[in-house]
Amino acid sequence: MELVAPAGNLPSLKAAIDNGADAVYIGMRNDTNARHFPGLNFEESNLAKAVFYAHVAGAKAFLAINTYPQPQGWARWQRAVDVADDAGFDALIVADMGVMEYAASRHPNLRLHLSVQASATNRHALGLYQQQFGIRRAVLPRVLSLEQVTRLAKHSPVDLEVFAFGSLCIMVEGRCQLSSYATGKSPNLCGACSPAEFVAWHSTADGLESRLNGLLMDRFPAGTVTGYPVICKGRFRAADSVYHVIEEPTSLNTIELLPLLAKAGIKAIKIEGRQRGTAYVAQVTRIWRAALDALSTQKDAFTVRHEWAESLAGISEGAHTTLGAYHRPWQ
């Protein structure tokens, strides 16, 4: 299975490739990608350099153009597709049908991967995207159980990629509108579920407060680890208690499922985290490279090493991990 690692900047891209990634995925420094944060992503002038570094190392480079353009901004998405083709990217990760149509008609040799933001969860949806726009791979949303993934892989008309490790959200990718109620901006359009211009931090006598457009998301006592303010992982008062009402911060970790994913025919394993630092990218990529290499030699004897599990738990959100929707005991 191909190991696909995130890169929010050039040092992270180099760290991912140097630590064993088969492919890296990046975004441009604008709202055409779903990790649109200040200081993150790549200027146009650096795209060719990123692709060159990957190709010299024998790796692939994917460009995420996975938000949904509006008419007034359509030229930016067209430009992103054109620039990607000029820079020599191995594939585009796309969600919007208009972007797919433009890419397929203008650059027919440019490989298209369906983004998780498209939220395609069945073979009929995948078949439509494949027939109409020629997609070659689809990234599955993190709402399917292992049994559902396995069943879909048997009938999928395209290769499948699944998320293996990283920040987990309980919402269906491409369908969440929570933050738009607080900010007036949809994450599908602007590229961030908590746009930076709405985020504020305040030191108070009770601790450090994080707010989203003035709304209190969380309060952190001195000495505790803080988290970026998103509504689904905020702490709120309910029934006279303050707790993570919607979801606790946690990370997806499917390393124990690698043999089953390989047996199901999954073609690529994806690490989430373009917003994370270089050291994080290097460490996670190195562990997953070791695990995939072990799987290829050990086959049915594959076991998760203690040091892998311990390291991944230590850098996870909330310092703990979960199998998420993959594990549904009733199935």
pLDDT at 105: 97
Report, as an integer, the average pLDDT of 191-199. Answer: 86
Report, as an integer, the average pLDDT of 22-35. Answer: 95
Of 202, 201, 184, 204, nearest to 193 by C-alpha is 184
Residue 227's Cβ-side half-sphere holds a number of Cα atoms within 13 Å equal to 22
User: What's the pLDDT tens digit per position in 37-72?
Assistant: 888 999 999 999 999 999 999 999 999 999 999 999
pTM for this predicted structure: 0.93
Of 39, 8, 27, nearest to 191 by C-alpha is 27
User: What's the pLDDT tens digit per position in 58-113?
Assistant: 999 999 999 999 999 999 999 999 999 999 999 999 999 999 999 999 999 999 99
Helix (H) / strand (E) element for 45: namely: helix 44-56
pLDDT at 39: 86
Secondary structure percentages of the chain, helix, strand, coil, to 5: 40, 20, 35
The answer on pLDDT for 318 being more than 70 is no
Report the amino acid identity of residue 207. G
3-state secondary structure (DSSP) of residue 147: helix
pLDDT at 16: 98
User: What's the pLDDT tens digit per position in 250-271?
Assistant: 888 999 999 999 999 999 999 9
Stretch(es) of the chain classified as CATH 3.20.20.70: 2-168+250-326
Q: What CA–CA distance (Å, rounded) separates 151 from 123?
A: 10
Average pLDDT, the chain: 92
Exposed, middle or buried, 241 (CB in 10 Å: 0-12/13-18/19+)? Answer: exposed
What's the CATH code, domain 2-168+250-326? 3.20.20.70
